Amino acid sequence: MAQKLWEKNVQVNEEIERFTVGRDREMDLYLAKHDVLGSMAHITMLESIGLLTADELKTLLAELKNIHTIAERGEFIIEEGVEDVHSQVELMLPRKLGDVGKKIHSGRSRNDQVLLDLKLFTRAQLREITEEVEILFKELIAQSNRYKDVLMPGYTHLQIAMPSSFGLWFGAYAESLVDDLTFLQAAYRMCNRNPLGSAAGYGSSFPLNREMTTRLLGFDSMNYNVVYAQMGRGKMERNVAFALASIAGTIGKLAFDACMFNSQNFGFVKLPDECTTGSSIMPHKKNPDVFELTRAKCNKIQSLPQQIMMIANNLPSGYFRDLQIIKEVFLPAFEELKDCLRMTAYIINRIKVNEHILDDDRYLYMFSVEEVNRLAAEGMPFRDAYKKVGLDIEAGHFTHNKQVCHTHAGSIGNLCNNHIETLMQQVINGFNFESVEQAEKELLK
């Protein structure tokens, strides 16, 4: 069995080890390439302050690049008896390079290593989430523009209320994603600060150049106070989880609408046949399972901030092992949300809209407000017009030509999709992903 980095002469009881390590080895596979990247920046800094020679740095960087390539290919493994990704990397280097491989940990603790790994992993995942959101956004805008003139009932209290349109319906979810990404960008900015050099949470007696590692890793700035850097663990994950939950809330609501509008009682939309499933005994069934599962997964993601808060709540300053458990709920959440985004974009691209909903007179009364407004525009006091139309409905005399003329900003006749697209582009540009990409390329060059 491999020795732990912190082990001296006494080995830990096997059951205690199983319990304390938990799923960390599995979870740390998410972090492998980011751990290597952080080590590359750290040792580059160590050479600059005289703790490594130029030749040692060159040798170590070459081998770390090899390990990074292995991790990128998905072939990195944490061996049996090795506690975590940090230990595995420190085991691999001396095997290949001898004693020089033991020099990479000066000025670090596993505390700031995992803080760094989590931030590097998270900011990469947030970029991928942003890209998937943008794809879904474009599908929604395209469908909004395509069906901008097709009317549908709008509802309040699940009662037929006023005219809406598919332009409004698709476009509403597109604009919701703009706000979601604004929230995500705030979380990204809190994530994109460098904790490396905080060590176990109290700094180091080595003259670490934290500005250098901040620059090498493409962070916007550092977490300056070393105690706060450690306090930020759990907080960063919680804030990011709230942003993920915001996106999940939008998708979950869209999924609910789609399931309801696809049912025979509504018949507003038809989901692609390849996205539905059948019944074992009812040959007519085409169930919206993809959107039902999306709804459930999005509800699960919306519970993530609460799970993280309940793990991290009421901890005093300093490191505690409780924080390890956050990885188990946090790290897999990104792929689950990306999966939901991909499925939703696929279906929205192929969804069929019923362009003849209003042929059915059951929806006639949604034009009552149109008639009240017409009478008021002709000079009748609004309250008198409201009463007249109400009495006509009760008497069964109400008729309307099923036409609308809405022109103000954001209404049926003036969707403002171009403005919504501009807002989205401004938000995406504000992430400035390119600076991070450039820094990481330079480090790996």
Q: pLDDT (tens digit, 9 = 90+) per residue, 276-311?
A: 776 667 767 678 889 999 999 999 999 999 999 999
Give the percent of the chain with pLDDT over 90. 83
Mean pLDDT over residues 128-134, rounded?
98
Between CA 436 and CA 445 the distance in angstroms is: 14
Which backbone phi and psi does 381 adopt, to 5 degrees? -55, 140
Interval 218-266: pLDDT, tens: 999 999 999 999 999 999 999 999 999 999 999 999 999 999 999 999 9
Interval 364-407: pLDDT, tens: 999 999 999 999 999 999 999 999 999 999 999 999 999 999 99
Closest alpha carbon to 216 in 87, 73, 42: 42
Q: Cα angle at 127 between 417 and 125, to 5 degrees?
A: 135
Largest CA distance in the chain: 94
Between CA 239 and CA 230 the distance in angstroms is: 15
Per-residue model confidence (pLDDT) at position 6: 43
Between CA 125 and CA 25 the distance in angstroms is: 20
What residue ranges define each of the domains in the chain, with the CATH number in brackets?
A: 14-102 (1.10.275.10), 110-144+164-356+416-444 (1.20.200.10), 360-414 (no CATH)
Q: Where are the beta strands (DSSP E) in 174-222?
A: 193-194, 221-222
In sign, the C-alpha dihedral spanning 189, 191, 197, 199 is positive
**End-to-end C-alpha distance for the chain, whole angstroms:** 36
The CA-based dihedral angle spanning residues 110, 9, 320, 32, taken in that order and rounded to the nearest 10 degrees:
30
Between CA 379 and CA 358 the distance in angstroms is: 29
Between CA 155 and CA 260 the distance in angstroms is: 12
pLDDT band at 27 (very low <50, low <70, confident <90, very high): confident
Between CA 285 and CA 379 the distance in angstroms is: 52
Mean pLDDT over residues 134-150, rounded?
98
Between CA 199 and CA 195 the distance in angstroms is: 8
Between CA 217 and CA 211 the distance in angstroms is: 10
Between CA 90 and CA 326 the distance in angstroms is: 24
Closest alpha carbon to 95 in 66, 127, 69: 66
Is pLDDT at 7 greater than 80 in this prediction?
no
Per-residue model confidence (pLDDT) at position 283: 67
| Cβ contact 161:153 at 8 Å | yes
> Whole-model pTM?
0.92
Strand partners, 153: 163
Per-residue model confidence (pLDDT) at position 84: 87
Which backbone phi and psi does 315 adopt, to 5 degrees? -85, 135
| Cβ contact 261:268 at 8 Å | yes
